[in-house]
Amino acid sequence: MESHAPIVGRLAPSPTGAQHVGNARTYLIAWLSARSRGGSVGLRIEDIDSPRIKPGAAAGAIDDLHWLGLDWDGVPLVQTERLSFYEAALVQLQARDLVYPCTCTRTDVERAASAPHPEHEGPIYPGTCAHRRAVDARDLPPGSFAWRMRVGSETIVFEDGFHGPLAMNLHEIGGDFVVWKSAGTPAYQLAVVVDDAAQQVSEVVRGDDLLPSTPRQLLLYRELGLMPPRFVHVPLVIGPDGKRLAKRHGDTRLQALRAAGVSAQALLGLLAWSCGWLDSIRPITLNELRLGFDLATIPRQPFTLTPEVLAEMGYHSP
Ligand code: GLU
Ligand code: ZN
């Protein structure tokens, strides 16, 4: 069915800090997945999360992608330049009362949560403001509320390109979710759907920390009448302590590797080895990788980046 449709992948860096080896691995898989089948790749700068955006980080991400040799087609989309499109989507949801104004603070939601929740996913929204209709926002002071999407208790079923068939219940993963923040900016969930649809993305390859976002995004695709892409969630890179790659694991920023004289081909070799495309760590080009690309060899478990592995490509973190 999809064999003749052109494949459109995308790279979507958040300029919240420097790109590290973990980001590079996901970008590489996303890029190869599209390019190995003659597909195109879009670039999008996800810079709407204003308090966390770092000056220069967007240019830094573009620099890092160039260094790795990962290219893209067309002009990059920049989310802060696209607010009117997100607003239009919000208006559509408001018109159908699929969203309501929520005046709860984070603390309110935490306090009302009945059960303990896994720290990364947050509590289930208790529905405090769900009685409101969209028009009720007129009686609330501007800036005092967020917009939440009503989710009911639906289970969303989808086929993940890496994990296979999945079923996730929208209530259990957090319930009604924010699509527009009280600060007046779109939330990630809404912006990413509007943008992936606008860029006609047919395949989203991203870290599996975003798996719980997918059923929410699929709901938004449906309610906005947009065509969803195929989702492929790949395992993350972790440090020797089993935690997600961070500063305490040494300096794994791409710019640090580059400054230490590591070549892009050396890093590509390490990443390819971690994905099961190479038997040992040795420099390799993108072109060679494109020919041998296979999602199926990527290990199911996260990739543990150790100082020993980094040393194999000649890098010793300061
Ligand atoms: N900008 C997000 C990140 O860098 C990726 C979002 C996505 O792939 O949907 O983590
Ligand atoms: Zn509320």
Q: What is the pLDDT of residues 231-254, one digit of tens each?
A: 999 999 999 999 988 888 889 999
Contacts of 276 (CB under 8 A, 6+ apart): 294, 297, 298, 299
- What pLDDT does 168 receive? 97
Confidence of residue 162 (pLDDT cuts 50, 70, 90): very high
Domain ranges of the chain: 8-81+235-312, 83-197+211-221
How many angstroms is it from 170 CA to the middle of ligand 2?
A: 17
Class of residue 178 by CB neighbours under 10 A (exposed 0-12, middle 13-18, buried 19+): buried
The closest residue, in CA terms, to atom 6 on ligand 1 is: 12
Tell me, using a 6 A CB cutoff, whether residue 33 lines ligand 1: no
Q: What is the pLDDT of residues 196-228, one digit of tens each?
A: 999 999 999 999 999 999 999 999 999 999 999
Alpha-carbon distance of 151 to 218, in angstroms, equals 11
Give the CATH fold of the 83-197+211-221 domain: Rossmann fold (3.40.50)
Architecture of domain 8-81+235-312: 3-Layer(aba) Sandwich (3.40)
Which among 154, 128, 156, 130 has a CA at the least distance from the CA of 212? 156
Give the least confident one: 30-34, 107-111, 243-247, 312-316: 107-111
Tell me, using a 6 A CB cutoff, whether residue 192 lines ligand 1: yes
pTM for the whole structure: 0.95
The number of the ligand nearest the C-alpha atom of 176 reads 2
Closest-lying ligand 1 atom to the alpha carbon of residue 188: 6
Closest-lying ligand 1 atom to the alpha carbon of residue 12: 1
Tell me, using a 6 A CB cutoff, whether residue 234 lines ligand 1: no
118: pLDDT strictly greater than 80: no
- Fold match between 8-81+235-312 and 83-197+211-221? yes
Alpha-carbon distance of 128 to 105, in angstroms, equals 11
Tell me, using a 6 A CB cutoff, whether residue 176 lines ligand 1: no
Tell me, using a 6 A CB cutoff, whether residue 199 lines ligand 1: no
How many angstroms is it from 312 CA to the middle of ligand 2?
A: 51
